[in-house]
Chain A
């Protein structure tokens, strides 16, 4: 399973690289779809069907919205020449990547191997969760019962995001 996940992650990296360098913005949007749908297969291989359903639906809707927006506006990317400021920004970015990779390499040594660590809270959730919450689907039981505050925050974040979108994209003022 590790081999197939590695192959899929390689495909995702290729798709993301193509999405950056594509000449046509429409093919760039479709290359973003490669990343999303490969992630769906990764979730299914790791036995997480709830996440896979949410990811496949959200990815499809996002692609439809992006294609509609690209077809409405221009399909050409606007290029600009690199000047001194641009080179300074690029050098700063590469420096930050090197620093972060250094700290990542230090911190990753103290972690367990992926999939072997078992958390104290996770064991408590799994033991008899169906009797405690009454929900046969363990994920829904955790999301709406044990972690209710998280779900409420997520819903409020979505409302705030919609309010922001409406405020920014409204072209006509209110009379």
Chain B
């Protein structure tokens, strides 16, 4: 896939990082403001898709990267299940037990394990959406015809 013109590349340089930071903000503040893991993960995937569309496949050497995204996605899902299983070993023996201290409501570090769930679900969603985009757009160029 070829890249786009110079104007698109320059504006992408300015905007893509801000979109990525906003996705991280939405994920980390998921237990305080509207949003959360799913919305923030899709925003992060959107910034990566923007860079891919503007600069083309060769710039990012994407043929090698696609294995990396699937590994990150699987690791994030396993981490979610492992945090859920960790509830067995602390306090009440229940799956999805909130075993960390709750803290003060409406502070950034509060709500026990809920921010950790948000972070890992966000990573997993970002990797999933990005790998679907890559497989729909990039795989066509590997084909022999």
Q: Which residues of A contact B (CB under 8 A)?
A: 49-50, 53-54, 57-58, 60-61, 64-65, 68-69, 72, 130-131, 133-137, 139-141, 143-145, 148-149, 151-152, 155-156, 158-159, 161-162, 165-166, 169-172
Cβ of B114 and Cβ of A158 under 8 Å apart?
no
List B100-139 residues whose CB lies under 8 Å from chain A.
Answer: 102-103, 105-106, 110-114, 117-118, 121, 124-125, 128-129, 131-133, 135-137, 139
In whole angstroms, how far apart are the Cα atoms of A95 and B39 in the complex? 40
Q: Give 4 A-B pairs besides A50-B36, A130-B105, A148-B95 with Cβ atoms closer than 8 angstroms.
A: A54-B38, A57-B42, A133-B98, A137-B36
Cβ of A165 and Cβ of B132 under 8 Å apart?
yes
With CB as the reference atom, state the residue of chain B lying closest to A66: B136
- The interface residues of chain A lying within 8 Å CB-to-CB of B43 are 57
A42 to nearest B CB, angstroms? 16
In whole angstroms, how far apart are the Cα atoms of A68 and B46 in the complex? 14
Cβ of B118 and Cβ of A144 under 8 Å apart?
yes
- The interface residues of chain A lying within 8 Å CB-to-CB of B139 are 169-171
B96 within 8 A of A: yes
- The interface residues of chain B lying within 8 Å CB-to-CB of A68 are 53, 133, 136-137
The count of A-to-B residue pairs whose CB atoms sit within 8 angstroms is 146
Cβ of A50 and Cβ of B35 under 8 Å apart?
yes
Chain A facing B: main interface SS = helix
Cβ of A162 and Cβ of B114 under 8 Å apart?
no
Given A133-B114, A151-B121, A166-B135: A145 and B74 interface contact (C-beta under 8 Å): no
Task: Give the one of B45, B129, B142, B143 with max A CB within 10 A.
Answer: B129
Cβ of A49 and Cβ of B34 under 8 Å apart?
yes
Going nearest first, the 8 A-B pairs with the smallest beta carbon separation are A134-B102, A148-B96, A134-B111, A49-B34, A135-B31, A135-B111, A136-B106, A171-B143
Q: Which of A61, A130, A140, A158 interacts with B49 by CB under 8 Å?
A: A61
- The interface residues of chain B lying within 8 Å CB-to-CB of A50 are 34-36, 39
In whole angstroms, how far apart are the Cα atoms of A54 and B39 in the complex? 5
Cβ of B34 and Cβ of A152 under 8 Å apart?
no
Given A151-B117, A172-B143: A166 and B131 interface contact (C-beta under 8 Å): yes
Task: Give the one of A134, A145, A156, A162 with max B CB within 10 A.
Answer: A134
